[in-house]
């Protein structure tokens, strides 16, 4: 089909007509699917399910079949949907989003579903998500989902506040280049690791020697912390890398010194055990 001869205005009007015909064709198909479903004809025609019929007989792709069956069944309950789909006020993806939302939130009442659909008319997918999130009124932390998508990759989804999202966008802008989520996450982890190592274990690319200032009491100098961390890297007792503390092998209270030889890394639990063995109450030397 060659449309090069059309004037701009006619091209625009024709496009609108084609879009409206497409919406009309969609509702027409939904009615047919609904009726086949009602008569359970797909089993007479030797298909295992309505979905199976849509894919194998109508030639719809799986996602498209799923969307249309969902909408057809909703149309059976809500005839007024037809007009809204025809006019493009609601799309099949709106319906699918609301359907999923109702399933997740155990909303079965038809009036409630109608009310929700009424609130998302003409909204974009993103706006719809936001609206639905507002309706549920429940923030669900920990609704992070993970899906293994290949040998080496997992798709993870997080729920972030607007504030965090804006900050994230700002960082992306500062980096000044297109960056994949994986690369961004690697950068964030590396910088967080550096920050923790620096704060807690006094790691630095530019170490200063102690200037002979006498460090008194049980306080361990940054230089000793740095060297002990580089030497041990993990709990010297169990190998754990969680909740590490600097510990006096010979307790400070028993005359142990703050030297590299006497300081070691222990995890919280091993530290507790060590102090119990020594019969000391609180022994945590420094958690950084």
Residues that bind Zn ion (CB under 5 A): 235, 237-238, 240, 267, 270
3-state DSSP assignment of residue 147? strand
| CB of 288 closer than 8 Å to CB of 199 | yes
Nearest partner of 53 among 38, 36, 31, judged by Cα = 36
Indicate the residue among 72 and 244 with the shorter CB distance to Zn ion: 244
Shortest reach from residue 267's CB to Zn ion, in Å: 3
Q: Which is nearer to Zn ion, 119 or 286 (CB)?
A: 286
Tell whether the torsion through CA atoms of 14, 16, 20 and 26 is positive or negative: positive
- In this complex, which beta carbon is closest to Zn ion, that of residue 203 or of residue 272? 272
For residue 271, the minimal CB distance to Zn ion (Å) is 8
Burial class (CB in 10 A: 0-12, 13-18, 19+), 114: middle
For residues 220 and 8, what is the distance between their CA atoms, to the nearest angstrom?
Answer: 78
Is 116 in contact with 147 (CB distance < 8 Å)?
Answer: no
C-beta neighbour count of 182 within 10 angstroms: 9
- Please provide the size of the chain in residues: 288
DSSP 8-class letter at 286:
B
Residue 91: CB minimum distance to Zn ion, A:
56
Tell which residue, 159, 166, 162, has the closest CA to residue 145: 159
Shortest distance, CB of residue 63 to Zn ion, whole angstroms?
A: 50
Query: Closest CB to Zn ion among 105 and 237?
Result: 237
Q: Would you state the structure tokens that stand for residue 192, as one six-digit string?
A: 């967080």
Tell me the closest approach of the beta carbon of residue 235 to Zn ion, in angstroms.
3
Nearest-approach distance from CB 245 to Zn ion, in angstroms: 10
Nearer to Zn ion among residue 160 and residue 238 (C-beta): 238
- The encoded tokens of residue 110 equal 């038809």
Nearer to Zn ion, 92 or 270 (CB): 270
Shortest CB 99 distance to Zn ion, Å: 50
Residue (53 or 246) nearer to Zn ion, CB: 246
Closest separation in Å from C-beta 270 to Zn ion: 3
Q: Which is nearer to Zn ion, 56 or 273 (CB)?
A: 273
Whether residue 265 contacts residue 247, with contact meaning beta carbons closer than 8 Å, is answered with yes
Q: Which residue has the tokens 């579903």?
A: 113
Contacts 24+ apart (CB under 8 A), 164-171: none
């Amino acid at each position: 089909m060659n449309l090069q001869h059309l004037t701009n205005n006619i091209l625009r009007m024709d496009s609108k007509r084609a879009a409206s015909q497409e919406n009309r064709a969609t509702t027409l198909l939904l009615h047919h699917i609904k009726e086949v479903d009602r008569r359970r004809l797909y089993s007479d025609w030797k298909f295992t399910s309505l979905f199976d019929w849509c894919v194998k007989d109508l030639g719809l792709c799986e996602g498209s079949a799923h969307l249309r069956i969902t909408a057809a069944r909703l149309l059976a309950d809500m005839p007024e949907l037809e007009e809204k789909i025809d006019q493009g006020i609601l799309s099949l993806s709106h319906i699918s989003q609301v359907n999923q939302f109702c399933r997740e939130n155990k909303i079965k009442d038809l009036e409630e579903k109608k009310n929700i659909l009424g609130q998302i008319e003409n909204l974009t997918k993103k706006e719809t998500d936001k609206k639905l999130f507002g309706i549920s009124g429940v923030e669900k932390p920990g609704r992070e989902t993970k899906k293994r998508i290949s040998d080496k990759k997992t798709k993870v989804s997080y729920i972030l506040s607007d504030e965090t999202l804006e900050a994230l966008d700002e960082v992306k802008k500062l980096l000044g280049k297109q960056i994949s989520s994986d690369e961004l996450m690697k950068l964030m982890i590396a910088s967080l690791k550096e920050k923790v190592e620096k704060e807690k274990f006094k790691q630095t690319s530019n170490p200063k020697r102690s200037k002979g200032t006498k460090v008194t009491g049980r306080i361990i100098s940054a230089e000793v912390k740095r060297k002990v961390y580089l030497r041990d890297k993990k709990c010297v007792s169990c190998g754990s890398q969680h909740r590490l503390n600097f510990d006096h092998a010979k307790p400070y209270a028993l005359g142990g010194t703050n030297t590299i030889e006497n300081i070691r890394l222990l995890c919280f639990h091993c530290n507790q055990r060590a102090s119990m063995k020594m019969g000391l109450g609180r022994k945590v030397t420094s958690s950084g």
